[in-house]
Structure 1
Amino acid sequence: MSCPVKKIGLMGGTFDPVHTVHLIAADQARTSLGLDEVWFIPAHIPPHKREKRITDDSHRIAMLKLAIDNHPAFCLSTVEIDTAEMGKPSFTYDTMLYLNNRYPDTAFYFIIGGDMVEYLHHWNRIDELVQMVRFVALARPGYLMKHPFGDRITEVEMPQLDVSSTMIRNFVSQRRSIRYLVPEAVRLYIEENGLYGS
Structure 2
Amino acid sequence: MSATKKTGLYFGTFNPIHIGHLIIANHLVENSDLDEIWLIVTPHNPHKKKKSLLEDHHRLAMVEIALEEYPKLKASNIEFNLPQPNYTVNTLVHLEEKYPTKQFALIMGEDNLKSFHKWKNYEVILDRYSIYVYPRISEGTVDTQFYSPTSASSANGIEGGGEVFHPKITKVDAPIMELSSTFIRKGVKAGKNIRPMMPFDVWKYMDEMNFYR
TM-score by length of 2: 0.84
In the alignment, which of 160, 167, 172 is matched to residue 156 of structure 1? 172
> What's the counterpart of residue 97 of structure 1?
93
Q: Is the 8 A contact 2:45 2:86 kept in 1?
A: yes
Q: How does 1:122-133 map to 2 (within 5 A)?
A: 122-133=118-129
Q: Give 1:146 shift.
A: 5.1
| Count of matched residue pairs | 192
Q: Is the 8 A contact 2:117 2:143 kept in 1?
A: no
- C-alpha change, 1:140 and 1:168, in structure 2 (3 Å) is closer
Q: How does 1:106-121 map to 2 (within 5 A)?
A: 106-121=102-117
Is structure 2 residue 110 aligned with structure 1 residue 73?
no
Q: Give 1:50 shift.
A: 3.7
Residue identity over aligned pairs, in percent, reads: 32
> What's the counterpart of residue 160 of structure 2?
none
Q: Is the 8 A contact 1:138 1:158 kept in 2?
A: yes
Aligned residue type for 2:145? P
Q: Give 1:147 shift.
A: 4.1
Q: Give 1:140 shift.
A: 5.5
SS in 1 for 2:127: helix
SS in 1 for 2:172: strand
Aligned equivalents of 2:136 and 2:81: distance in 1? 34
Q: Is the 8 A contact 2:109 2:136 kept in 1?
A: no
Q: CA RMSD in A?
A: 1.9
Is structure 2 residue 203 aligned with structure 1 residue 193?
no
Q: Is the 8 A contact 1:6 1:36 kept in 2?
A: yes
Structure 2: gaps of 5 or more residues: 147-165
Describe the superposition over 1:38-65 as per-residue Cα deviations: whole angstroms up to 9, x where unpaired. Answer: 1010101101014542110011011011
In the alignment, which of 132, 139, 158 is matched to residue 136 of structure 1? 132
In the alignment, which of 167, 176, 179 is matched to residue 192 of structure 2? 176
Runs of 4+ aligned structure 1 residues displaced above 6 Å come to: none
Instruction: Return the structure number with greater helix share.
Output: 1
Aligned residue type for 2:89? Y
Q: Is the 8 A contact 2:11 2:39 kept in 1?
A: yes
> What's the counterpart of residue 27 of structure 2?
28
Structure 1: gaps of 5 or more residues: none
